[in-house]
A and B are shown apart, each in its own frame.
Chain A
Amino acid sequence: MYPILEAESIAPDVRRIVVEAPKVAKKHRAGQFVIVRVTPNGERIPLTIAESDTEAGSITLFVQAIGRTTMLLCELEPGDCLVDVAGPLGRASEINRYAGVAVVVGGGVGTAIAYPIACALAAEGNRVIAIIGGRTKEYVLLEDQLRSHGIEVIPCTDDGSYGRKGFVTEALIDVVADENVAVVFTIGPVPMMAAVAEVTRADEIETVASLNPIMVDGTGMCGGCRVEVGGETKFACVDGPEFNAHEVDFRLLQRWNTSYRAFETGQLEDLKSLDAEHHEQLLAPVRGVCARTALS
């Protein structure tokens, strides 16, 4: 069992969760992920590690409640547990000192995933611009935290309720026009990453996308996370999760991620149809079981 030390809502349906996993924290490098199971019969889902604290032996995850598993995960509080946390998995981001500006483009909860990469780029001495997007102001994440690392932030909202109105790609077009951009990291919904790759393709600006396909084991054993990069099949879990965005077949990835849509919808409806008591029963095996550990 992996105790939850902190849990807070940072946007509607988005939670910041700090979990005790000392061995994972010790090894974590920006760009890596963990496989998590929430309940004893739960599925294994990959979540990118946003931060790690070696001293506290903890890792920070940002989770958006979109499916059954993530919804349950977002209901957990300090003192509750995750049944499984395995990692850190995947290759770490390649963080270099670039001759030009490093741009990080994050959409929604993707910003949280991009956050450690932006910080690592800044720590390496790069000038970093973070273009972060959300549907509305509430979904623009981590702006202050990014700024505190000396990163320039361009917030964007679809409805113009905050920052620039419009998509992150529009802001990116301007940044590419105005600055000497050396590298772009993009993390977020698949269509957004695909659009970012199109913005930088013509100028051949190095562009890295962090992919989030369906996974089971996360160690290369099952091949369920196959993606096509440069016409070759890669396993996102061991060959990635970061790839050259200009070579990724995003259309395939988008389709692949819909494989289980019918099942997922059913699972979610099941969950929503439960009354409070039965709903809570699902979480009973992990509810409060680590309270003592968390306090000590």
Chain B
Amino acid sequence: MIKISRRALMKLDRIEMPARDPLERAACFDEVNMGLTPEDATIEAMRCLQCKTPICIEGCPVNIQIDQFIDLVAHGDIRRAAEVIRMDSLLPAICGRVCPQEAQCEGACVLDKKHKPIAIGHLERYVADTIRNYGLEPPLEPIKPSGKSVAIVGSGPAGLACAGDLAKSGHQVHVYEALHKPGGVLIYGIPEFRLPKDIVQSEIDGLKNLGVEFEMNAIIGRTITMEELLTEEGYDAVFVGVGAGLPRFLGIEGENLIGVYSANEFLTRVNLMGAFREDTETPVLDLTGKRVVVFGGGNTAMDSARTPLRLGAEEVRVAYRRTEAEMPARVEEIQHAKEEGIVFDFLVSPLELLGNEEGWLTGVRFQRMELGEPDDSGRRRPVPIAGEIFDLDADVVIVAIGNSSNPLLPATEPHLKQTRWGTLEADETTGRTTMQGVFAGGDIVTGGATVILAMGAGRIAAASINEYLETGVWESNPASEPALQPAPA
């Protein structure tokens, strides 16, 4: 145990996460953040004031008992710290890496005012990594089978979180995934250098140890219909966590030139299909010495910008129509991107994509913007500055402006009602959809959001599914369709 006086601790600033050198890391896919040392983690945990009313917990979408686990880290009891986290989150190694902590737990930390907030995310990651690296996972306690079974549609963060809770409750859980690898956006979207894939795999293995089954290449709505899950396949309930997978484009001239990618396509080629590796057969356009422009300001835009650097791009620019203050990306991602040499162009909006005779992209025509009055989101709306138009050379453009809802599932299941934005209609507090026995959560309900919010929704739905399986009561939702099957007793 390290001994430091409270007064000395109060003078200490937040311990920064050691990161790989920007020049070195921008040329490889190794993880950028290298993790806290045990000493640093202990000192950082000791900085925690252990507030009587820990408001950081309220800032966490899954309400991890943050003060408790940090106290245990400060006392070197990593095993118990992990148990505390596991009560509320089954995927701490992932969340410690990808949550926007500054807008959640750390944003609420009282130290945020005078010093910097406790590095809660880094400590969460430290605990999860330590447990995994030293094989300290607690032995599985036997679970009493409930005799009930639940199908999970989609193996992204919402589905995994839901599956974990339901398996712990003794239900037989079967996860259907459309792609050939489980993990959803954690696998195809978030790059290796931010979230190593063996960590995702180890979290999935943990679920398999709990008895969760995974079936790949199963597109619900096509391979098996939603109705069949509840009838022929005999599941007592279904959770839909299929994400918001339908990339948005800008609808401007030139968007179908060769060299224009959606972030989903570009990242899928690199992350899921391993297009950067010698031994794989999926292509991605050769970026060596190329100029890449990314549209957007979220985490996906940051991932889409940092990945081309690692594939040899000469110059990568991020074009965002508002200013840095309005960027939805995590502060750390923006910081890392800047360190690696990504150039940011703020207050610009693409008007047209320019191409050559052969149909290849050659550049982007931009409109300069300025901030006007606040819009519905409370952010100041960017408005064009008359006459301020300019062209920028580009070989590749990556469009990372968000996703709409994938229509595949709702289109094949009329009982599932959609909102006017194309998302699934589902009760926020229970995840209940308009189809009896079917629950939903994550981006398919909220539209594009974060990993942790999707996990939170998966857990809310799991609790609600447990209640439904126990009581068999499907509260009449005014929009609800007649029952397809009798509720399980």
Contact = CB atoms under 8 A, between A and B. Distances in A.
Nearest to A24: B223
Interface string A214-237: 001101111110111000010100
B245 A219 contact: yes
A111 interface: no
A89 B220 CA distance: 11
A23 B224 contact: yes
Interface residues of A, number: 42
Interface of A: prevailing SS: mixed
18 contacts: A23-B223, A37-B180, A41-B281, A44-B180, A84-B216, A216-B282, A217-B178, A217-B188, A219-B408, A221-B246, A221-B264, A222-B247, A223-B247, A223-B265, A233-B249, A255-B358, A259-B285, A260-B285
Contacts of A256: 256, 258, 359
A259 B188 CA distance: 21
B141 interface: no
Contacts of A222: 247, 262, 264-265, 268
Nearest to A254: B359
Nearest to A222: B265
A264 B296 CA distance: 31
Interface of B: 178-180, 188, 216-219, 222-224, 245-247, 249, 251, 255-256, 258, 261-262, 264-265, 268-269, 273-274, 277, 279-283, 285-286, 358-359, 406-408
A33 to B, nearest CB: 11
B223 A216 contact: no
A221 B243 CA distance: 10
B283 A233 contact: no
A233 B385 CA distance: 29
A222 B164 CA distance: 28
A259 B286 contact: no
A23 B178 CA distance: 13
A5 B362 CA distance: 48
A39 B359 CA distance: 32
A134 interface: no
Interface in A243-289: 252, 255-256, 258-260, 262-264, 267
Given A233-B249, A233-B255, A260-B283, A221 B268 contact: yes
Contacts of B219: 86-87, 89, 219
Interface of A: 23-24, 27, 37, 39, 41-44, 68-69, 83-89, 216-217, 219-224, 226-228, 233, 235, 238, 252, 255-256, 258-260, 262-264, 267
B178 A219 contact: yes
B263 to A, nearest CB: 9
B283 A264 contact: yes
Contact of A238 (B218, B268, B279, B408): B408
Contacts of B245: 219-221
Contacts of A69: 281
A228 B253 CA distance: 12
Contacts of B265: 216, 222-224
Contacts of B281: 39, 41-43, 68-69, 267
A259 B282 CA distance: 13
Contacts of A42: 280-281
Contacts of B280: 41-43
Contacts of B255: 226, 233
A267 B275 CA distance: 13
A233 to B, nearest CB: 6
B178 A86 contact: yes
A68 B279 CA distance: 13
A69 B280 CA distance: 11
A95 B86 CA distance: 54
Contacts of B216: 84, 86
Of A24, A41, A89, A267, the most chain B CB neighbours within 10 A belong to A41
Contact of B179 (A217, A226, A259, A267): A217
